[in-house]
Amino acid sequence: MLQYVVDGLVLGATIGLGAVGLTLTYAILRFANFTHGELLTVGAYLTHGLLALITGLLGAEAVAALGRIGPLGFGWPLVLALLLAIPLTGLVALLIDALLFARLRGHGAAITLVIASFGAALALRHLVVVAYGPNPDYFSRAIPIALTVVPREILGGARLTPDQMAVLALAAVAVLGLHLLLTRTTIGRAMRAVAESPTLAAVIGIEVRKVVRWTWLIGGGLACLAGVFLGLTVQIRPQMGFDLLLPLFAASILGGIGSPLGAVLGGLLIGLAESLAVPLIGADYRAAVAFAVLILVLLLRPQGLLGRAG
């Protein structure tokens, strides 16, 4: 029982981080971005590619000599690759915006952007297949050894691999950093203002274009982090982001569109619900859980947990 809770929290942390970018772009650019799931995929594959590049530059022996970090399944090269991939994924998001969304924002309804994002998502996902092939991959071939976190006597106990613990810790750090950014920095406050009302924000002299740029960078960066988390705890596949898209939407709507902390909370709840549903309805239908939660939210509280009515 407790094991399902712990597994759900790990998955939920990934969904939550991924949903932050989705909820921000939704609130600031005012459209449901179906490309967001692919940003997770792109981030994971960029990290994977950079890791191969770093390994190639240093030589396999040198990397092996560096070893892994403590009990973790990966070493410093992965951390370096991730730190490089985070801004790069943000740039990819900016590039998609410049090529496609920015051109459509001017004329036509916002819903045209949704179609464009749907098309861009499929194109991007299959571009990954063209570049990497369709087969799944892993960041590390090390066999993870799960450690007992809660002894078996208490509710069946819980075990976590060191990588899963790292994911939970890093997710907490990322959320804290995001919270500080949004509440203590000028650009963060400007982002919240634009999310609230773009017109009013422009009237009081906020540079909306700059805010849009930062939204893509931050949303893309967090998506990259979530993608790598997913790669560390599950695997890397071209489908990975697309399969997570419904949970991401469900998390942002559950948390309340435009609320980053709501998205994290929503993500954790969706992760828990998916994991706890496994003993009830079987693993085959776990993907339907996010849909069920989504329908319930739309039915009972369409503005979400932390969102405002209207």
Partner 1 sequence: MPDLASYLVFFLVVALTYALLCLGLALQWGFTGLFNVGVAGFFAIGAYASAILTGPDYPGQFGGFGLPIPLGWLGGMAAAAVAALAVGALTLRLRQDYLAIATFGVAVVIQLLALNLESLTGGAFGLGFIPRPLFGRFGSSTAFNLFYLALMTSLVGLVWLALEALVRGPWGRVLRAIREDETAAEALGKPVFRHRLESFAIGSAVMGLAGGLYASFTGFIAPQDFQAILTFQVWAMLIVGGAGSFAGAVLGAVAVWALWTASGALIDQLLPAAFQVRGAALQIVLIGVVLAATLVLRPRGLIVERAALSARAADGR
Q: Does 253 bind partner 1 (CB under 8 A)?
A: yes
Q: Rounded CA gap, 165 and 305, in Å?
A: 27
Q: Does 305 bind partner 1 (CB under 8 A)?
A: no
Q: Does 95 bind partner 1 (CB under 8 A)?
A: no
Q: How far is the CB of 129 from partner 1 (least distance, A)?
A: 4
Q: Can you tell me whether residue 87 is helix, strand or coil?
A: helix
Q: Does 308 bind partner 1 (CB under 8 A)?
A: no
User: Among residues 206 and 257, whose Cβ is nearest to partner 1?
Assistant: 257
Q: How far is the CB of 190 from partner 1 (least distance, A)?
A: 24
Q: Rounded CA gap, 33 and 26, in Å?
A: 7
Among 64, 66, 110, 173, binds partner 1 (CB under 8 A): 110
User: Among residues 55 and 303, whose Cβ is nearest to partner 1?
Assistant: 303
And the tokens for 49?
């590619």
Q: Does 19 bind partner 1 (CB under 8 A)?
A: no
Amino acid at 104: L
Q: Does 280 bind partner 1 (CB under 8 A)?
A: no
Return the half-sphere exposure (C-beta side, CA atoms, 13 A cut-off) of residue 233: 24
User: Among residues 61 and 284, whose Cβ is nearest to partner 1?
Assistant: 284
Q: Can you tell me whether residue 148 is helix, strand or coil?
A: strand
Q: Does 126 bind partner 1 (CB under 8 A)?
A: yes
And the tokens for 48?
């994977």
Q: Rounded CA gap, 195 and 251, in Å?
A: 18
Please report which helix (H) or strand (E) contains residue 158, including its range.
strand 158-160
DSSP secondary structure string for all residues of 146-157? -EEEE-TTTTT-
What are the residues binding partner 1 (CB under 8 A)? 31-32, 34, 99-100, 103-104, 107-112, 114-116, 118-120, 122-124, 126-127, 129-130, 133-134, 242, 245-246, 249, 253, 284-285, 287-288, 290-291, 294-295, 298-299, 302
